[in-house]
């Protein structure tokens, strides 16, 4: 059997003209050689497989040429050293000793040191002087993928050339050329997939191409490429998107299970679907559609499907998928997390699908109609003027009767309006002129209207002005036992949501009844106060609902403990010792000891 030469070696460029995707490097080096302005220490840096070593070898051959027609073999003047396996001080000292001797043929001796970042610190230091003032016949070309690991003193002595990742179209062109030379049949979509999987590295692309040719027996198809590379076929993403847009939840779940049976990870599917929807969004505008690195056939499919989806729905869906991407690893039920997300995207409610903001939701898991259950809210209270909220961000309490009734009828509204539109239509109570607004019984809060329409700051201000005063009930009495019970229940809910740090902080807190409408909490630091502030709105809404009154307030106190490490005098130290060990006085008396101040 003949020895097989991989494509990466067989088709390695021999001249700068055949180097792919590094024109900014090759042009600079050619001009430097032609004008005799080439430095004696060069550093080639960049990702793997983009042509650093190849360019170093081409440059090494060119340096000694006297003309284009010069065919002299100068290979004896080129020395290549692998720093990964020759990284000691002794190896560098041997190299420095060789540098002293002039070349027998040609004018220069070229030293290529690959993976130079693997040299030890001592080896770098031994190389410094030679690199700064090399002999006139020596040229050093260093190559590395990790420039940040090289000493700054080395970097300052080199001309640095940054190699870029090779873009997808350039890789595809090169793969087509090689496939033609090898007599391999191919589909352009298959080469597109290979180029994307290579992540900008031509060597990786050629390695994948060799495996694919062997796998497909010389007939490279997209199906074979997807199977070999364990890549989910893009047709699945088109099917899922069509089902989501049509509201066909059952078909979506069936497609998800089909993907699972093929052995693909759902996290991979979520990321692929997000990338697919991003491409659809790009196709909504003619100025961005050409930015997609895809074939014309695939582009036409994207353009056709993009016409069926609105831009707002695409943004809404992308937000949901990004949330799942962040929550996936921490979730205990990953499949359920993905399925619920897709079911929400396939919801038949057009308003939810087309809106670029998610529908109204409560963070604590209970109904926003909390004010409806509070016994202290009477019809008379709704006629009193409102006070502006001192501290915003309480979104679970409705403070006026008109707004309460409008929220009650959101689900059953025959007009088909959204909760935001209904809330915006609520009239603002008229204030009494020349009379300052009364202070609300609670310390902070704003109406449900502001929570429903948080994107419009002007409407938030109007809704805050419409807030009604919550009256206190003389017959209401806060139960210490119920307070402790429901607070621990809220802590358990926090722990179930995997908010471990927050749950631990709440676990160390013991709420207490200060009066019938005030809950007192003592904390030890501002950090604990900040953590509590993240769920203060949700917690108070929960406690108000469970304890049966919407006017309950929270009073947070930071304990200022005195430092234990106070400096003490010798007399104070002796008193402490005698207090803890009284028999010490007997020892002091028997030995005749005195206190030295």
Whole-angstrom Cα distance, residue 429 to residue 434?
15
Which domain range does residue 249 map to?
Answer: 234-354
Give how many domains the chain has, as a whole number: 6
Sole residue written with tokens 């019984």: 441
Let me know if residue 470 belongs to a domain: no
189 lies in the same domain as 301: no
* pLDDT given for residue 504 in this prediction: 77
Whole-angstrom Cα distance, residue 403 to residue 468?
10
At 27, give phi and psi (nearest 5°). Answer: -65, -45
Let me know if residue 364 belongs to a domain: no
Whole-angstrom Cα distance, residue 423 to residue 447?
10
Let me know if residue 6 belongs to a domain: no
Whole-angstrom Cα distance, residue 386 to residue 442?
12
Whole-angstrom Cα distance, residue 334 to residue 324?
9
Let me know if residue 48 belongs to a domain: yes
443 lies in the same domain as 515: no
What is the sign of the dihedral through the CA atoms of 44, 48, 54 and 57? positive
* pLDDT given for residue 522 in this prediction: 84
36 lies in the same domain as 138: yes
> Could you tell me the CATH number of the domain that includes residue 175?
1.10.8.60
Spatial contact of 295 and 168, defined as CB atoms under 8 Å apart: no
Let me know if residue 15 belongs to a domain: no
115 lies in the same domain as 141: yes
344 lies in the same domain as 310: yes
Tokens of 10: 């067989």
Whole-angstrom Cα distance, residue 366 to residue 362?
7
286 lies in the same domain as 394: no
Residue that is last in its domain, among 137, 162, 187: 162
Tokens of 536: 């203060």
275 lies in the same domain as 343: yes
Rg (CA), the chain: 37
Residues 6+ apart with CB under 8 A from 60: 77, 78, 110, 112, 139, 141
Let me know if residue 13 belongs to a domain: no
58 lies in the same domain as 147: yes
* pLDDT given for residue 230 in this prediction: 84
380 lies in the same domain as 345: no
* pLDDT given for residue 341 in this prediction: 92
* pLDDT given for residue 509 in this prediction: 79
55 lies in the same domain as 147: yes
429 lies in the same domain as 554: no
Q: Can you state the percent helix, strand and coil of the chain, rounding each to 5?
A: 50, 10, 40
H helical segments located in 247-295: 249-261, 266-282, 286-289
> Could you tell me the CATH number of the domain that includes residue 307?
1.20.272.10
Residue that is last in its domain, among 162, 177, 202: 162
Whole-angstrom Cα distance, residue 491 to residue 503?
6
At 523, give phi and psi (nearest 5°). Answer: -120, 160
Closest listed residue to residue 342, CA positions, set 263, 270, 265: 270
Query: Average pLDDT by consecutive 10-residue portion of the chain (597 residues)?
Result: 83 92 93 90 94 93 81 84 89 90 88 92 90 91 93 92 93 93 90 90 94 90 88 89 91 92 89 92 86 81 89 91 91 91 78 45 41 40 40 42 43 44 45 42 40 43 43 68 84 79 78 82 79 83 82 80 58 80 82 74
> Could you tell me the CATH number of the domain that includes residue 517?
3.30.300
Let me know if residue 10 belongs to a domain: no
> Partners of 488 in the beta sheet?
none
Residue that is last in its domain, among 176, 198, 228: 228
Whole-angstrom Cα distance, residue 288 to residue 295?
15
150 lies in the same domain as 174: no
Whole-angstrom Cα distance, residue 391 to residue 170?
57
Closest listed residue to residue 471, CA positions, set 543, 404, 377, 549: 377
Let me know if residue 1 belongs to a domain: no
Residues belonging to the chain: 597
């Amino acid at each position: 059997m003949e020895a097989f030469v991989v494509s990466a070696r067989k088709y390695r460029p021999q001249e700068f003209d055949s180097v792919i995707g590094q024109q900014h490097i090759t042009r600079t080096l050619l001009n430097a050689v032609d004008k005799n302005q080439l430095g004696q220490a060069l550093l080639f840096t960049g990702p793997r497989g983009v042509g650093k070593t190849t360019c170093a070898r081409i440059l090494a051959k060119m340096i000694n040429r006297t003309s284009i027609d010069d065919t002299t073999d100068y290979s004896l003047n080129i020395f290549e050293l692998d720093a990964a396996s020759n990284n000691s001080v002794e190896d560098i000292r041997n190299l420095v000793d060789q540098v002293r001797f002039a070349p027998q043929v040609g004018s220069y001796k070229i030293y290529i040191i690959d993976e130079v970042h693997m040299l030890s610190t001592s080896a770098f230091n031994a190389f410094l002087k030679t690199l700064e003032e090399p002999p006139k016949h020596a040229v050093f070309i260093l190559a590395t993928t990790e420039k940040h690991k090289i000493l700054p003193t080395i970097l300052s002595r080199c001309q640095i050339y940054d190699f870029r990742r090779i873009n997808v179209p350039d890789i595809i062109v090169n793969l087509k050329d090689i496939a033609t030379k090898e007599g391999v049949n191919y589909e352009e979509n298959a080469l597109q997939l290979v180029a994307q999987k290579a992540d900008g590295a031509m060597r990786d692309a050629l390695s994948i191409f060799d495996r694919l040719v062997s796998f497909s027996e010389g007939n490279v198809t997209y199906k074979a490429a997807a199977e070999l590379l364990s890549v989910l076929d893009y047709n699945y993403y088109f099917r899922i998107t069509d089902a989501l847009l049509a509201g066909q939840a059952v078909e979506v779940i069936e497609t998800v299970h089909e993907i699972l049976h093929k052995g693909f990870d759902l996290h991979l599917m979520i990321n692929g679907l997000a990338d697919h929807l991003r491409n659809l969004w790009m196709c909504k505008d003619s100025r961005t559609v050409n930015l997609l690195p895809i074939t014309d056939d695939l582009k036409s499919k994207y353009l056709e499907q993009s016409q069926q989806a609105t831009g707002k729905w695409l943004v809404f869906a992308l937000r949901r998928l990004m949330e799942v991407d962040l929550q996936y690893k921490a979730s205990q039920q990953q499949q359920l997390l993905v399925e619920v997300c897709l079911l929400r995207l396939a919801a038949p409610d057009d308003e939810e699908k087309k809106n670029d903001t998610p529908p109204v939701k409560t963070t604590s898991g209970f109904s926003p109609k909390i004010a409806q259950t509070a016994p202290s809210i009477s019809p008379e209270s709704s006629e009193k003027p409102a006070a502006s909220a001192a501290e915003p961000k309480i979104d679970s309490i409705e403070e006026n009767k008109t707004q309460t009734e409008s929220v009650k009828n959101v689900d059953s509204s025959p007009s088909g309006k959204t909760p935001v539109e209904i809330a915006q239509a609520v009239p603002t109570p008229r204030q009494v002129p020349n009379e300052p607004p009364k202070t609300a019984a609670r310390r902070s809060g704003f109406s449900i209207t502001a929570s429903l329409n948080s994107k419009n700051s002007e409407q938030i201000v109007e809704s805050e002005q419409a807030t009604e005063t919550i009256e206190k009930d003389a017959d209401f009495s806060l139960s210490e036992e119920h307070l402790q019970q429901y607070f621990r229940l809220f802590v358990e809910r926090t722990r179930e949501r995997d908010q471990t740090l927050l749950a631990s902080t709440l676990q160390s807190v013991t709420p207490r009844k200060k009066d019938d409408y005030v809950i007192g909490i003592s904390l030890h630091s501002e950090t604990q106060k900040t953590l509590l502030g993240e769920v203060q709105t949700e917690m108070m809404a929960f406690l108000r609902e469970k304890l049966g009154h919407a006017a309950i307030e929270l009073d947070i106190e930071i304990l200022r403990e005195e430092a234990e490490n106070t400096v003490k005098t010798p007399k104070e130290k002796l008193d402490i010792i005698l207090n803890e060990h009284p028999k010490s006085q007997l020892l002091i008396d028997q030995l005749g000891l005195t206190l030295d101040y």
